[in-house]
Amino acid sequence: MNSPIASNNLAPSSVQLGSFCLANAQIVLEDHVITGALWVQDGIIAKIEETSDVPDGAIDCAGDYLIPGLIELHTDNLERHIQPRPSVDWPHDAAILAHDAELASVGITTVFDAMRVGSIPTGKGGYIKYARQLSKELWQLREKNVLKISHFLHLRAEVCSETLAEELSEFDETDRVGIVSLMDHTPGQRQFRDISKLKTYVASKRGMNDAEFDEHVQKLLKLRETYGELHEAKTVSEARRFGAVLASHDDTTTEQVEVSSGHGIHLAEFPTTVEAAGACRANDIAIMMGAPNIIRGGSHSGNVSALDLADRNLLDIISSDYVPAALLLSAFRLAERWDDLPRAVRTVTANPADATGLKDRGRLAQGLRADIVRVSALGSTPVVRGVWSQARQVG
């Protein structure tokens, strides 16, 4: 899948690139594993050789795995850091740095930071606009060369809102918007077909009583009726303006997938049914599911199990969603289920790179970025032993 995202402006300015060798490792290539050594020079992978030798000066990996740096397409983790509790606004520079360091520590070397656009300024269940200012603060830190990993934006465009069109208009092609997802959280469909699940999620989070929740539902239905079609069309056109990948979100039916396909979508986030996932496959749309769904063995919203889709060959990409450490863990769980480590690793490396047009990463291969994770196994649990982002050790 092609994307206009450029690959020549991905590292912070003044980055210091290293040269080193990682040896005596189980190197996970795209379709097989070798015992070998990997050389890095000037920030890229210079050579991979199948050998059991440990050259002078090399880092002896003692049989640990080497895999590509993980690529995260949809994480709410930054939002969690800027608002660790309802109504608590954490200092943004500190929150961004903590988020960046957390991702590096679990092997993620490229992230598409999910930020909601489309606010509801009024009412107890509303959302306050924040994405434009937060992204500016993120890029200011990037320019100061204090971020450990590569960041892009993922704008979560909520059509069931009041301000989506004006918020999207504040971004442009210089903002590193890599993904725009078409979100629709109208009660009674998609993720929240079962409104009781929405009530459990929203009412408990926002402290609503029954009357307040009913009022909130009616407000969302009215917003969808008033703005839905306008916001959907605006999102599709703005994604093209940014040069971003357009993604669907929570498709439930074949008809919804066909609408997504008509928009030119080739990435589906979290389809909620086997029917929708099968329609995605038929329409050449990559299927992404959440790592927590894999770890927990099911969806917290009562939707389709990611493991069920994995068993049906309807799973291409994993996202950590709301638990960054789940990304690597889910890949190793899939490796056990499929009895195929390279295939499982592709769901968190090569496949997300392909879906977003990042041709310089996602694989361990000569000439690509030296985004590398060293992993050992503690039973069925992967343990991160080292992380390199464009040859800089960041974890």
**Residues sharing a CB contact under 8 Å with residue 293, sequence separation 6 or more, in sequence order:** 299, 300, 305, 306, 307, 321
Question: Does residue 9 sit within a domain?
Answer: no
d(CA 367, CA 277): 35
Pick the more confident residue, 222 or 390.
Answer: 390
pLDDT at 196: 63
Mean pLDDT rounded to a whole number for the chain: 90
In a domain, 156, yes or no: yes
24 assigned to some structural domain: no
Give the pLDDT of residue 160: 83
Rounded CA-CA distance 64/70 in Å is 17
Query: Which pLDDT score is estimated for 217?
Result: 73
Residue 139: Cβ within 10 Å count: 16
Mean pLDDT (whole number) for 49-54: 97
Q: What is the mean pLDDT of residues 165-175?
A: 94
Write down the pLDDT at residue 298. Answer: 83
Look at the pTM and tell me if it is higher than 0.85.
yes
Residue 385 lies in a domain: no
Residues 84-115 have pLDDT tens digits of: 987 789 999 999 999 999 999 999 999 999 99
How does pLDDT run across 290-322, given as a tens digit for each residue? 999 999 998 866 789 999 999 999 999 999 999
Confidence grade of residue 324 (pLDDT, cut at 50, 70, 90): very high
Who wins on pLDDT, 386 or 379?
A: 386
Give pLDDT, residue 12.
41
Q: Read off the CATH number of the domain in which 305 is found.
A: 3.20.20.140
- Continuous H helices in 19-130: 77-82, 92-105
The residue range of the domain holding 81 is: 71-356
Greater confidence, 289 or 189? 289
Please give the share of the chain, as a percent, with pLDDT higher than 90. Answer: 75
Mean pLDDT of 31-48: 97
DSSP codes joined into one string, 36-61 = EEEEEETTEEEEEEE-S---TT-EE-
Least confident stretch, 216-225, 350-359, 362-371: 216-225
For residues 18 and 40, the answer to whether their CB atoms sit within 8 Å is: yes
Pairwise CA distance, residues 67 & 108, whole Å: 11
Task: Give a yes or no: residue 141 inside a domain.
Answer: yes
> What element of type H or E holds 139?
helix 131-143
Nearest to 156 by CA among 108, 126, 112: 112
Residues 103 and 72: their CA atoms lie apart, in Å, by 9
For the chain, give the number of residues. 395
* pLDDT tens readout for residues 135-149: 999 999 999 999 999
Alpha carbons 96 and 88: distance in angstroms, whole number:
15
26 part of a folded domain: no
161 alpha carbon, distance to own chain's centre? 23
pLDDT tens string 176-204: 999 999 988 666 565 666 666 665 666 66
Which strand (E) or helix (H) includes residue 210? helix 210-242
Q: With respect to residue 188, please indicate whether it lies within any of the assigned structural domains.
A: yes
In a domain? residue 11: no
Residue 159 has pLDDT above 90, yes or no: no
Distance of CA 174 to the CA centre of its chain: 20
Overall domain count for the chain: 1
